[in-house]
Structure 1
Amino acid sequence: MQVIDPSIFKAYDIRGVAGENLTADVVEKIGRVLGSMAVESGVGPVCVGRDGRLSGPELKGALIRGIAAAGADVYDIGMVPTPVLYFATKYFGSGSGVSVTGSHNPSRDNGLKLMLGGKTLFGPMIQDIRRRVESEEWSIASKPGKVEVKDAETPYFETVTRDIHLERPVSVLLDSGNGVTGPLAMRLYRAAGCKVEGLFTEVDGHFPNHHPDPSKPKNLEQLIERLKSSDAEVGLAFDGDGDRLGVVSRKGEIIYPDRQMMLFAADILEKKPGSRIIYDVKCTRKLVDWVKSHGGIPTISCTGHSFVKAKLAETNAPFAGEMSGHIFFNDGRWPGFDDGLYAGLRMVEILSRTDDPTALLSSLPTAVNTPELQVPMAEGENKKFVERLQKEVHFDDATDEIRIDGLRVEWPDGFALARASNTTPVLVIRLEGDTPEALKRIEQVFGAALKKLDPSIKLPFSAE
């Protein structure tokens, strides 16, 4: 049995600290298992790309060696955003690929996002890879698979620019946070008809300016400040590998993904009335009301891009999104994978229909809510706590209690959510009220329930 740190096998992907628990040796062995699975399923070649992290070249090389050793062919598409890797799996027809990326994690981290035969691997499938690596359940072919360098960026570029149609040029400020998206984003948005200004668009795996994670307000501070002196009508930010989008209005208001989804949903429902719109458990209640008022069917999903993607495949809905910024278009114009660059252009396309994008963005319904709050716990304790919460806690005055992913309690004027993170040992909490008074009441009621379950819990909000 191989001794490998089991913690690198996450719910959505494989991720760890490069050179420590995610070494080239470990990645090569994972590659052998993936290559064996591709051969067994007949779903090669496997496309492989990487983001701009310093450990990327070594780990990508090890992964390719492992896949090829098992007899599977490999298409090496180079350093590209993760959405270009997803595009390549469709463009080259195999549906199989791996993005070597640490996504929005610290610069020393890296990981693997996996697809095989058109399906994203997550949950039990990731654990099966772990089992096979540990037991060395792989094949070594007498003749290794072929490794070919392929250009996926050019057909991706051409496909996106053919699809996007602006009614007028829109001035945009792009913040890539020194992630892999910078050079491509600048070219792509200019070709689509935007006036473009860039911020931190040089690829630098040290991430010297700010961390490339637009879900955290502190990482948008420089974008907000630059907008004050810029002619840009909107600011767009991307995460380290380009599959998530952040949006900031000209006046510095952060338009969180659940509000972005309102504009996308309205646009899609105008053309596809009665369609399902998928959202994750962390999204605002205002989105649910919005989708209903625009003739759609709001459909809730577990959090996590892999779970949302699976829900999208199950329902064949034309659109899905989650609070972290993964946005999925499946409306015939785009083939259903999460792409921050493309989502940003769809946002710009909508904004090009108005002379005042700031007013349109500010008009989207909002509520009084907390950011994503976290309660650190010992490894595994967050999941045990949530299991107890789901079984033992009930609210007599609630209109609904949703238990698909933690516990989300709905009231007529707000909601409370507690769920176990699938990537770190924390309890994730989000609270919302239609008014400050409603939020305060929900904090007190929900906080008291959490305290009753565990009197020692340190709440990241006031429950007084």
Structure 2
Amino acid sequence: MQELSCFKAYDIRGQLGTQLNEDVAYRIGRAFGEHLQPKQVVVGGDARATSEALKLAVANGLMDAGVDVLDIGLAGTEEIYFATSHLHVDGGIEVTASHNPIDYNGMKLVREHSKPISGDTGLNDIKLLAEQQPWLNQPISRKGSLRQVDVLSDYVAHLLTYIKPVNLKPMKLVVNSGNGAAGHVVDEIERQFAALNVPVEFIKVHHQPDPTFPNGIPNPLLPENRADTAQAVRAHNAHMGIAWDGDFDRCFLFDENGEFIEGYYIVGLLAEAFLQHQPGAKIIFDPRVYWNTVEMIENNGGVPVMSKTGHAFIKERMRAEDAVYGGEMSAHHYFRDFAYCDSGMIPWLLVAELMCVKNQSLSSMVADRITRFPSSGEVNSKLTDPKSAIERVRAAYAPQASKIDETDGIGMEFDGPDGKWRFNLRSSNTEPVVRLNVESAGDQALVALRLEELLTLLRQ
């Protein structure tokens, strides 16, 4: 029995040829069908060269398990989330490797109501079935069907329900679709805006799908991938820049000066945007950096709720709390009315509306927040023994900590003579890396000092 190393904690991701190919994709589709026994499943794929063939292999596996397959074509992950709930089907599979290198591909899986399938909620069972292939030498009792469906206009119409389009004033927005996966959605938003006489002009960068990734890996978290968006914002005097990753479930925002805005500060803005419409609502946040988020939620009459990092944990907590919105500093934003799923399209719509309603630029909306709660951004360290490194930090800092939190990794707060600061340190679920975040109450120099201290201790 061949072990399938492409199965990760939350999704499927592997190097093409060695870890993932059409045979493995067929087995994943077949195992999904055998395990969940769905009647109908929706499939889609990103703009990578291998996504179409892998998607059809998955569809064949599903059909051989008796499942009727609905193919929505070139799509981002959130279009699968939307289609699964909107079409009332029993599951969805998006073929994507998101921001991984060009020689990778993968899949994200959901069940009915777009609920995530990860390790302990079915992914391990699907892995085992795909490895064992109990269907070999068994006759196919019913072959499912395959048909194309189009949900694009319904999906975009749903996106526009998060704002009041009438609130949007004349704006110029730079939109960088990476290597084109998000382009068709931008075009449909543009079409529906025009029908509603919404005065927004889109400056389109890297708009057409191109599987050769001529503009680099679609990952705007990497500083080297930000220049094209930033330059276009400045060249066109745009009000904001928006860039997406490869399956556009995350969006990254640039202010009118082309400056990249850390995802952390966008969480606070989106909390404010929701609380303007729904005072008293619960907002979920992750424990890496949160002082700014909590203050923004409380200042706007909301209820802050902390959750462990990771989409499966946040979605589960949002359902339990009936939270209207959840945000992670990594630019994942989750919405109750979007089946509690993450979207890279809803955030920029909300921020654009907030800019118009407040009559403020994006830079002026975040400048005060960044000054009040400066942060280091996430700093990763590749270590041979992450566990002992984390214990070293715990032993050194715990005696002075005013508060210790273990929701996710270790978080410690300090209120010493040199100022108020905190850090969070956690191990990656998928690689031998520890992730460190430091923030302070109004002291950028203190953030830099503590970051250097902590990294020296970690990397000994």
TM-score (norm 1): 0.88
Q: Are the counterparts in 2 of residues 38 and 72 from structure 1 also a CA contact under 8 Å?
A: no
Secondary structure, in 3 states, of the residue corresponding to 2:346? helix
> Cα deviation per residue 1:309-340 (whole Å; 9 max; x = unaligned)?
2221222100001111111122x5x4422111
Amino acid at match of 2:127: R
1:144 Cα deviation from its structure 2 partner:
1.3
Q: Are the counterparts in 2 of residues 212 and 240 from structure 1 also a CA contact under 8 Å?
A: yes
Secondary structure, in 3 states, of the residue corresponding to 1:255? coil
2: CA distance between counterparts of 1:5 and 1:386?
30
Secondary structure, in 3 states, of the residue corresponding to 1:320? strand
Q: Which residue of 1 aligns with 2:329?
A: 323
1: CA distance between counterparts of 2:304 and 2:179?
36
1:161 Cα deviation from its structure 2 partner:
3.7
Show the 5 A alignment for 1:30-429. 30-39=28-37, 43-118=38-113, 119-124=115-120, 125-137=122-134, 141-161=140-160, 163-166=162-165, 167=167, 168-189=169-190, 191-192=192-193, 193=198, 194-330=200-336, 332=337, 334-366=338-370, 367-378=373-384, 381-382=385-386, 384-385=387-388, 388=391, 395-412=398-415, 413-429=420-436
Structure 2: which 5+ runs fail to align? none
Secondary structure, in 3 states, of the residue corresponding to 1:369? coil
2: CA distance between counterparts of 1:267 and 1:443?
32
Pick closer, same or farther for the CA change 1:446–1:297 going to 2, 3 Å. Answer: farther
Q: Are the counterparts in 2 of residues 70 and 140 from structure 1 also a CA contact under 8 Å?
A: no
Secondary structure, in 3 states, of the residue corresponding to 1:77? strand
The answer to whether residue 450 in structure 2 is matched with residue 442 in structure 1 is yes
Structure 1: which 5+ runs fail to align? 452-456, 459-464
Alignment RMSD, CA only? 2.3
Pick closer, same or farther for the CA change 1:444–1:61 going to 2, 3 Å. Answer: closer
1:399 Cα deviation from its structure 2 partner:
2.8
Q: Are the counterparts in 2 of residues 173 and 227 from structure 1 also a CA contact under 8 Å?
A: yes
Q: Paired residue for 1:430, among 424, 437, 447? A: 437
Secondary structure, in 3 states, of the residue corresponding to 2:157? helix
> Cα deviation per residue 1:182-232 (whole Å; 9 max; x = unaligned)?
232133145332211111111112221132112233321221112111131
Q: Are the counterparts in 2 of residues 4 and 21 from structure 1 also a CA contact under 8 Å?
A: no
Q: Are the counterparts in 2 of residues 390 and 406 from structure 1 also a CA contact under 8 Å?
A: no
1: CA distance between counterparts of 2:170 and 2:109?
37
User: Which stretch of the first structure deviates more once superposed, 303-312 or 238-247?
Assistant: 303-312
TM-score (norm 2): 0.89
Amino acid at match of 1:401: I
1: CA distance between counterparts of 2:41 and 2:392?
42
1:282 Cα deviation from its structure 2 partner:
2.4
Q: Which residue of 1 aligns with 2:22?
A: 24
Pick closer, same or farther for the CA change 1:351–1:391 going to 2, 3 Å. Answer: closer
Q: Are the counterparts in 2 of residues 370 and 431 from structure 1 also a CA contact under 8 Å?
A: yes
Secondary structure, in 3 states, of the residue corresponding to 1:298? strand
1:305 Cα deviation from its structure 2 partner:
2.1
1:131 Cα deviation from its structure 2 partner:
2.0
> Cα deviation per residue 1:258-312 (whole Å; 9 max; x = unaligned)?
2112121112223323322111122342212222222222222222222222221
Amino acid at match of 1:174: V
Pick closer, same or farther for the CA change 1:395–1:82 going to 2, 3 Å. Answer: same
Pick closer, same or farther for the CA change 1:385–1:95 going to 2, 3 Å. Answer: farther
Secondary structure, in 3 states, of the residue corresponding to 2:447? helix
2: CA distance between counterparts of 1:16 and 1:404?
29
Secondary structure, in 3 states, of the residue corresponding to 2:274? helix
Q: Which residue of 2 aligns with 1:462?
A: none
Q: Are the counterparts in 2 of residues 285 and 415 from structure 1 also a CA contact under 8 Å?
A: no
